[in-house]
A and B are shown apart, each in its own frame.
Chain A
Amino acid sequence: MWPFYPELLATPVPRYTSYPTAAEFGPIESGAYHAALKEVGGDVSLYIHIPFCEKICFYCGCNTGAVGKKQRLGSYLHALHEEITQVSAMLPDTVRVRRVAFGGGSPNAISAADFLRLFDHLTGEFDIFDPILSIELDPRSMSEEWADAIASVGIERASLGVQTFASHCQHAIGRVQSEDLILRTVDWLRDAGVTSLNFDLMYGLPEQSSDDLLDSLKRSRVLGADRIALFGYAHVPHIVPRQRAIDDSNLPDPAERFAMANLGFTYLCTHGYVPVGFDHFAKPGGDPLAHAALSRALHRNFQGFTDDDSTVLIGLGSSAISSFPDLLVQNEKNSGRYRMMASQGQLAAMRGIERSAEDQTRGRMIEQLLCHGRVRLPSNMVEAARAALRPFTEKGLAAIDGAHLNISPDGLPYARTIAALFDPYRGQSLRHFSSAV
């Protein structure tokens, strides 16, 4: 059992899918994004955001809306096509795209025909070379047409929003999907050539018991998930208003949540998965994410833990974030304003932050701690780190060995809290993040 120290987990900490985090974003000069695009060299990754879902689940903090009016969807796709043309024209000719990730929302909330048009356009505008393609999918809106599209485009990695198999939890979070639906989707995707299949699962859901979680983990394993991402549900209705629809009288308390996270970790590690960072798991032998974790080549980006080692990620679509070594920029979050800007041929990135040399160093430290639980400390930080880490080192959760800080196996659930000690923006920020475990 991981030792439980609620006082060390009481302060909410960011998930550090970027550093500095999006909470630090502010207005940026309009030319900054353009200038960064013009200077890109080498290989880049693309992220395409589709902010639509067939149905909106109560728990979800993603930037997404219901498909609803056909016209709104059409004008979003039109704007996205415009942005693709714009951005690709600004990149130097030598830039190659090696990865394309589709996320949302649910990319399969748009029609398979629209998706194929989108992919054709990307192929036409960018120099996409032997790419690794991945997509997030909602099993409820999967269809045979979509499976055909995935096969014809050659998508090898897919991630399914499963969350839980327990029907009473599904009702509590407004996401009802039968096991047959998931099974059918898995079959379609395997037939379409998907070799790395991820299941997103959640713990800490309303009315969820440990047995419910164990059952979902077992079913995921039996259905052959190559990867599992096990997230803690963060009930933050002051940030995600749609969560007000969730009855909060039956949420597991912090001790129960901690035990669930531990149960998930123990079960998956004893049933054929290796831990990847603090909340991902992957099957060793075949899955590239497991390989990255075992060979210390793991990274962290907006999609979580990844084997993507590109230093430039270009985000397309509303709210998508682009990441350059010295700049983070985010496209307009409001889908209406995004449509207006992109369709008029303007870059839609209004907010972000310039990353100073120190930000980049801090970011790398935080990434190493979260991905590998170990980092070399710059010499001027060793003494201060020793003092700040005392609550963790005294309990055996971390240790400083010469110039290296190591998070011990028992310290894994505290990794984000330890990483936050190296984030000088914390302590100034009053924004509430989700609790660490």
Chain B
Amino acid sequence: MSKPLSPAPAASHEHLFDAFLRGFVPSGAKSEIAAALGKIAQPMNVGRESNVPLDPCKNALVYVGSGATKLIASASGGREQVVAFHFTGDLVSVPEGAWHSYSLCALTKTDLLAFPADAFLEIIDAEPVFLKALLERSFTALNRCRDKAVGLGRKTAQERLASFLVGMAERIAVNEADCLVMELPMSRRDIGDSLGLTIETVSRQFSELRLAGLIETTGRSRVLLRDLTSLAKHAGHG
């Protein structure tokens, strides 16, 4: 599909920052803390399939204002693993100096706010609401990571894909009558790079789940889940 010549105006910086604050601490933030965070927030608008230009020498916290991203870890020999996908409202930690080098890539046109992680932590140092919010998000990320480790280490291709779809449904699906519908912004290749499967295997497993009547797909992105409980049974959850 071709791109519009002039895309819809990017969300204004204040609008983006307001959305961040509301999403991060729905109960409200002290004005001086909000102001200090506002000063270190760097708004970015990144096009589809483009890397987010982050300083590779600094730990970053990146808030996804709208759109979707994938976090890629690179191992030696050009091997890449998609570590996680992120959607509107998510906060992503992009570390520097880890064993693998990390890059954040936009899956669609994405509005982001990037914070230097050290400065961010310093500002919220004495703010329990912020610390609690950050901790809750860290737990969520840790749990997703663990679930994924089980998948990569122990599960069949079908279980990995079913597990992926159940996880995505939780995060981005909306109901339509009695079904759940979601628009997956990532390609089949991205899904493969995330689940440790080839693109052919991903496509074949999509077909099998379709044949089993558990999902329906339309076009490249739309997935309809008829019965989440049955799909979860195919996901090898213990």
Contact = CB atoms under 8 A, between A and B. Distances in A.
Tell me the dominant secondary structure on chain A's binding face. mixed
Query: What is the interface residue range for chain A against chain B?
Result: 35 or more
A386 B9 CA distance: 27
Contact of A380 (B9, B88, B182, B218): B88
Interface of B: 1-9, 11-12, 15, 19, 22-23, 26-27, 66-68, 87-90, 108-109, 170-178, 180-185, 218-219, 221-222
A103 to B, nearest CB: 25
Contacts, number: 119
Nearest to B6: A26
B8 A384 contact: no
Nearest to A385: B26
Interface in A310-361: 311, 325-327, 352-354, 356-358, 360-361
B221 A357 contact: yes
Given A26-B6, A368-B175, A357 B15 contact: no
Contacts of B11: 424, 428
A296 B179 CA distance: 11
A356 B109 CA distance: 8
Contacts of A24: 8
Nearest to A367: B176
Tell me the dominant secondary structure on chain B's binding face. loop
Given A28-B5, A36-B1, A428 B177 contact: no
B199 to A, nearest CB: 19
Interface string A397-426: 000000000000000000000000000110
Nearest to A369: B174
B23 A383 contact: yes
B51 to A, nearest CB: 19
Interface string A172-191: 00000000000000000000
B230 to A, nearest CB: 18
A360 B183 contact: yes
A364 B174 contact: yes
Given A20-B8, A32-B2, A378 B26 contact: no
Given A357-B108, A379-B171, A31 B183 contact: no
A380 B15 contact: no
A361 B108 contact: no
Nearest to A377: B174
A376 to B, nearest CB: 4
A91 interface: no
